[in-house]
């Protein structure tokens, strides 16, 4: 009688130890996975500026590119522009029939006031000016930390408008009328 209890207790203790050792073996024996870095994505887009209303007087190419964890990079090479700093902005809509008015106002999903690219307060589309005095022989590169090809406020399908005058980065009207424009289209 007493022996039976001792044997039963021994069997239970042995089974318990077996389970613990087995469990630890399974736990430490599982394959170890390196944590994967978040996958990096690149989006590329193009925009081919045309004179407001159409016609051959202005032509060129604007390339936009962005890596998911980096800032938007814009490279432009455009012929036919006056050789000075010209307001350069993202506007809300794509362009219809080369009519730069159809682009709507500055892209401004956050409802901010107009500013320059480095202002605390700015429209998302406020890229400042492009130095058109470099054209047609030299490309101009612009990097922007706010406008993006990613996410819900992506600028794809919107437009770039080049103005006839210099944006003073305070008064939106300082940039004057719309000289050229194009729709931003994804190309990758
Ligand atoms: C250009 O677009 C604007 C705004 O959509 C519109 O009011 C105007 O009539 C258009 N002009 C032409 C010539 O289509
Ligand atoms: C903004 O600029 C326009 C065009 O140069 C000018 O007519 C207007 O008076 C300016 N507004 C302010 C508040 O300076």
pLDDT tens digits for range 14-38: 566 667 666 666 667 666 666 666 7
CA-based torsion, 177, 179, 182, 184: positive or negative: negative
* pTM score, whole prediction: 0.81
CA distance 52 to 58: 9
102 C-beta closer than 6 A to ligand 1: yes
Q: Which of 100, 102, 159, 161 to mutate to test the pocket of ligand 1 (most atoms within 8 A of CB)?
A: 102
Q: Which atom of ligand 1 is nearest to the CA of 99?
A: 1
How are the residues of the chain apportioned to helix, strand and coil, as percentages rounded to the nearest 5?
A: 20, 30, 50
* Residue among 158, 166, 153 nearest 62 (CA): 158
Task: Assess contact for 160 and 91: CB atoms under 8 A.
Answer: yes
CA distance 39 to 127: 28
Q: Which residues of the chain have pLDDT under 50?
A: none
Q: Where in the chain are the domains?
A: 1-32, 42-186
Fold for the domain defined by 42-186: Immunoglobulin-like (2.60.40)
Residue 78: predicted pLDDT: 98
Ligand nearest to the CA of residue 104, numbered in listed order: 1
Residue 176: predicted pLDDT: 97
Which H or E element spans position 47?
strand 42-47
Show Cβ contacts of residue 186 under 8 Å, excluding neighbours closer than 6 positions.
43, 44, 45, 149, 156
Q: How many CB atoms lie within 10 A of CB 128?
A: 20
Whole-number Cα distances in Å, 15 to 5, 12, 28, 148, 160: 15, 5, 20, 61, 74
pLDDT tens digits for range 37-46: 678 999 999 9
């Amino acid at each position: 009688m007493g022996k039976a209890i001792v044997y039963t207790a021994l069997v239970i203790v042995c089974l318990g130890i077996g389970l613990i050792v087995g469990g630890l073996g399974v736990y430490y024996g599982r394959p170890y996975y390196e944590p994967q870095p978040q996958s990096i994505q690149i989006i590329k887009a193009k925009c081919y500026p045309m004179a407001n209303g159409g016609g051959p007087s202005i032509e060129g190419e604007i390339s936009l590119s962005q890596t998911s964890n980096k800032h938007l990079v814009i490279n432009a090479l455009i012929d036919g522009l006056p050789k000075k700093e010209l307001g350069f902005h993202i506007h809300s809509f794509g362009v219809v029939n080369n009519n730069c008015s159809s682009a709507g106002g500055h892209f401004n999903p956050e409802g901010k006031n107009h500013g320059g690219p480095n202002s605390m307060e700015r429209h998302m589309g406020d890229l400042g000016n492009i130095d058109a005095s470099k054209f047609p022989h030299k490309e101009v590169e612009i990097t922007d930390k706010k406008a993006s090809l990613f996410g819900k406020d992506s600028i794809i399908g919107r437009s770039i408008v080049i103005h006839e005058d210099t944006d003073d980065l305070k008064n939106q009207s300082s940039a004057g009328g719309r000289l050229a424009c194009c729709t931003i289209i994804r190309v990758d």
